[in-house]
Amino acid sequence: MLSSTFKNKWLVKVLAFFALMLNFCIPILANAYTGVTIVISATTPTNNEFIEDFKEELVSIKGTNLRVKVIQLQEAEKLVVAENSELVIALGEKALKAASKLKHSTPVLGMFTPMYTFDSLFLTSRRAFGNFSAVVLDQPYWRRVTLIKTVLPNVKTLGVLLGPTSSQDSEFLKVVGEKSTINILQEKINKEAELIPKLKKLLDLTDALMVLPDPLVYSRVTAEPILLTSYRYQKPVFGYSQSYVRSGALAAVYSSTKQLARQAAEIAVNSQQAPSLLPPPQTPKYFLVAINYQVARSLNIQLDDEDTIYKKMVKLESEK
């Protein structure tokens, strides 16, 4: 399911793409791809796990005959694949950048890439919309707010620090807050020195903090001071990853590698017969909940187990 911000952002591009198809009758629609090439920039446990999970998910889908091969990208090496007969799945930003330079008739699906990175590559590559897509890392805001309301039913105000990248979502965050009856207060950060003063200002006025994956505001360097400052104010932090929860955030929604592989496999099979009709970039379809119960006890917050919280969220999503 796409979030409203994705729908609004890509609607014009979708319409333009279909207009081009009608005008030029793209012949590639008749040429189904016969294989999937997974491109990686390095051999890592996460990449290896995705590859194995993706193969297993393909096997579980009846009638699938797609072959799978893996290419490791080397520095300064041009990516070579069987043009027009393969779907290329690029794991990570470096791999997606390399894949974006392939012939525009070769469908490319990015994984493990933030939305802002995909946007940048889409614009610079000048690729056709239906031949360049991704399952981005970003969880939809409405899902994250659903988690917050499930964990803290009485929350009234939510603080958000915005950097240069995430500030483009300022208006959308307001809409999400209005729809969920939560007042989302925002502070814009232009340089790292502003971080703690503006964080303290937010913590004085809000019930909790929701962190966004902005490269200026939230990084390995800033994570600890943000968490420690919030803890001193006795305000819970809702992260955007499982690792953020392990570091001290109260909770987060995230998608496992297996879940992302499942979504990629579904796209591969559903798009096989029409390779120039990849779906628009989308947020993760499947998700899990991570809770830091030690932090919950320190903040005197009583919580259900992760599975119960997850089931409540799934029920709320099904009612949307």
The string of pLDDT tens digits covering residues 234-254 is 999 999 999 999 999 999 999
Within 10 Å of residue 232's Cβ, how many Cβ atoms?
10
Look up residue 282 and give its DSSP letter: B
pLDDT tens per residue across span 135-162: 999 999 999 999 999 999 999 999 999 9
Structure tokens at 210: 């929701």
| 190 contacts: CB under 8 Å, gap ≥ 6 | 164
Cα separation, 95 vs 146, in Å, equals: 33
Q: What is the pLDDT of residue 77?
A: 62
Residue type, 61: I
Cβ atoms of 240 and 283 within 8 Å: the answer is no
Inform me whether the pLDDT recorded for 304 exceeds 60: yes
Q: For the residues 42-48, what does the mean pLDDT come to? A: 96
Alpha-carbon distances, residue 30 vs 51, 197, 316 (angstroms): 28, 58, 40
Q: Domains in the chain, ordered, with CATH? A: 4-137+257-271 (3.40.50.2300), 141-254+287-318 (3.40.50.2300)
Look up residue 285 and give its DSSP letter: S
Q: What is the pLDDT of residue 43?
A: 94
Percent of the chain past pLDDT 70, that is, above it, reads 88
Structure tokens at 120: 């940048």
Residue type, 169: D
Q: What is the pTM of this model?
A: 0.88
